[in-house]
Amino acid sequence: MPHIRFSPSEHKIVSFDIFDTLIERECLLPFDVFFLAAMKLYGEKGMAVRFTLSRIAAEALSREGMPGRETTLDRIYEFLTWEAPAISSLKEFELSTEQEICRPKKSGIELMNKALEAQTTVVLTTDMYLPQPFIRQILTKCGICGYDRIFLSNEYGRNKSTGTLFETLKETMGVKAGEVLHIGDNIKADYLGARKAGIDSRLIMRNHFLKRLFFSKIGVAESLNLRY
Quickly state the pLDDT bin for 50 (edges 50, 70, 90): very high
Strands across the sheet with 150-152, in order? 150-152, 121-126, 13-16, 180-184, 200-203
The span from the CA of 217 to the CA of 111, in Å, is 31
Domain(s) labelled CATH 3.40.50.1000 in the chain stretch across 13-26+104-203
Q: pLDDT at residue 86 above 80?
A: no
Residues facing residue 37 across a β-bridge: none
The per-residue pLDDT for range 95-138, each reduced to its tens digit, is 999 999 999 999 999 999 999 999 999 999 999 999 999 999 99
Tens of pLDDT, residue by residue over 142-179, are: 999 999 999 999 999 899 999 999 999 999 999 999 99
Going by pLDDT thresholds of 50, 70 and 90, the confidence category of residue 1 is: low
Helix (H) or strand (E) holding 202, with range, is strand 200-203
| pTM (2 d.p.) | 0.92
Give the span between the Cα atoms of 206 and 214, in whole angstroms. 14
Mean pLDDT of 31-60: 95
What is the pLDDT, as a whole number, of residue 102?
97
Query: Taking 90 as the threshold, does the pLDDT of residue 58 lie above it?
Result: yes
Question: 19-33, 83-97, 151-165: which range is least confident on average?
Answer: 83-97
> Are the C-beta atoms of 104 and 143 separated by less than 8 Å?
yes
How far is C-alpha 3 from the chain's CA centre? 23
Show the DSSP H helices in the chain as ranges: 32-42, 45-63, 73-78, 87-101, 106-117, 132-141, 153-156, 164-173, 193-196, 209-217, 220-227
Distance CA 48, CA 40 (A): 9
13-26+104-203 belongs to which CATH class? alpha beta
Condensed to tens digits (0 to 9), the pLDDT of residues 176-193 reads: 999 999 999 999 999 999
Q: How far apart, in whole angstroms, are the C-alpha atoms of residue 156 and residue 161?
A: 14
Q: Look at residue 207 and give its three-state secondary structure.
A: coil
DSSP state of 1: -
For 107-151, what is the HEC assignment? HHHHHHHHHHHCCCEEEEEECCCCCHHHHHHHHHHCCCCCCCCEE
Q: What is the average pLDDT score of the chain?
A: 93
pLDDT of residue 83: 78
User: pLDDT at residue 85 above 90?
Assistant: no
Instruction: Express each pLDDT in 184-221 by its tens digit.
Output: 999 999 999 999 999 999 999 888 889 999 999 999 99
pLDDT of residue 2: 63
CA distance 163 to 200: 12
